[in-house]
Structure 1
């Protein structure tokens, strides 16, 4: 909220300054203030670590229709990403609470120690964004993970930057920013524990968690996913 008052004040100042000379200024003022409010709401939803503004940009599903809604989305993701799944580049699974998880191997998405998406990965992420746009009554959690190579602090930063890269690309493909939350969990949630110091490649990944917004339980969709390790 720290940017809200200055932005709104700026919109009001502009509107007052132009009123005397522009008979359409009132309509323009409303549009400007609406844009400011929308930007603030979207920013709070996508980036805040506290409670977001529930329902600001996302519709809700009636409880009895949730299972069918998410099953259809699951089926479309499986169809559209069948080639990637066949190459073991990603896995799509159901989670408790009608959520879905797309687990994407980090080596497919990024070069070693890099947070820049590889060009070959862009088509895959574009396919994902296309489906997520169609099924718009969901909140998208993008979670980055690393293996244990390097320090805890380095791995945490890398996982955050990778999650941010994926989130930014999905938004660039038309996925509303207000539906997206991102976080990095570093090396804390491995899929595979070797116990012998081996740096297991499968632990390097990006998880995309798709949570339905259910009528009367909207806040649950914004809650970060639980433990995603093995």
Structure 2
């Protein structure tokens, strides 16, 4: 019974981490939950007594903890969130903490890019300037920039356009002192809409850039350098 629960938990990890329709955010959260579930089941079963029940309970608790185990939400991350909330107030940019402890900036097209263009608009630059300064102050974080488009134009246009928008955002941040090796970019084209593409207002919502900032737990827990004795 114990082995069956452990195998089930590990199988769930593989299935959750490999779902093709998941966004990157959902995939990372699900993978963390699967890892937590597997470890929880192993630990629950190994403690002896009530094996099946302990393993099942361990899987549930481990899954909940594993969803956020990969990143931490430090005081620096909280301060960065507050700073960006102040810097973007009234602009339409949405600043939030994700389920897997990442800072997310959701930037609509009316302040980021013109239709069918990847050039950064002038009113987007002050936001990126402030954002870059918070990234420089917290060098342990990693950044993922994802570009999106609406459904007009077809994949042949939208897919490279979304990548170019993410790339231009990255290049602007690096020009403000953020190390390029901290930044990953992706283009999702029109494949992950947040609204139907039936009206101009909804299409504008889908033309957006999402920026995720994560402070990996491994970086936060890296051992401090010590003086030789």
Give the TM-score, by structure 1 length.
0.60
Give RMSD over aligned pairs: 2.5
Q: In 2, Cα distance between the equivalents of 1:145 and 1:204?
A: 5
1:183 corresponds, among 186, 189, 198, to 186
Give the TM-score, by structure 2 length.
0.60
SS at match of 1:207: strand
Where does residue 52 of structure 1 map in the other structure? none
1:69 Cα shift? 3.3
Unaligned runs of 5+ in 1: 1-61, 219-230
Where does residue 75 of structure 2 map in the other structure? 68
Aligned length: 152
Where does residue 159 of structure 1 map in the other structure? 162
SS at match of 1:200: helix
Q: In 2, Cα distance between the equivalents of 1:73 and 1:100?
A: 8
Where does residue 223 of structure 1 map in the other structure? none
Where does residue 141 of structure 1 map in the other structure? 144
Q: Does structure 2 conserve the Cα–Cα contact (< 8 Å) formed by 1:99 and 1:209?
A: yes
Q: Does structure 2 conserve the Cα–Cα contact (< 8 Å) formed by 1:157 and 1:186?
A: yes
SS at match of 2:181: helix
SS at match of 1:161: helix
1:87 corresponds, among 87, 91, 107, to 91
1:119 corresponds, among 118, 122, 136, to 122
Unaligned runs of 5+ in 2: 1-68, 222-229
SS at match of 1:103: strand
Where does residue 213 of structure 1 map in the other structure? 216
Where does residue 204 of structure 1 map in the other structure? 207
Q: In 2, Cα distance between the equivalents of 1:135 and 1:216?
A: 11
Equivalent residues in 2 for 1:98-109 (5 A)? Answer: 98-109=101-112
Where does residue 85 of structure 2 map in the other structure? 78
SS at match of 2:133: helix
1:97 Cα shift? 1.7
Q: Does structure 1 conserve the Cα–Cα contact (< 8 Å) formed by 2:71 and 2:214?
A: no
Q: In 2, Cα distance between the equivalents of 1:185 and 1:65?
A: 26
1:67 Cα shift? 3.7
Equivalent residues in 2 for 1:37-76 (5 A)? Answer: 66-76=73-83
Identify the structure with bigger relative contact order (alpha carbons < 8 Å, sequence gap 6+).
1
Structure 1 residues 185 and 217 mapped into 2: Cα distance closer, same or farther (>3 Å)?
farther
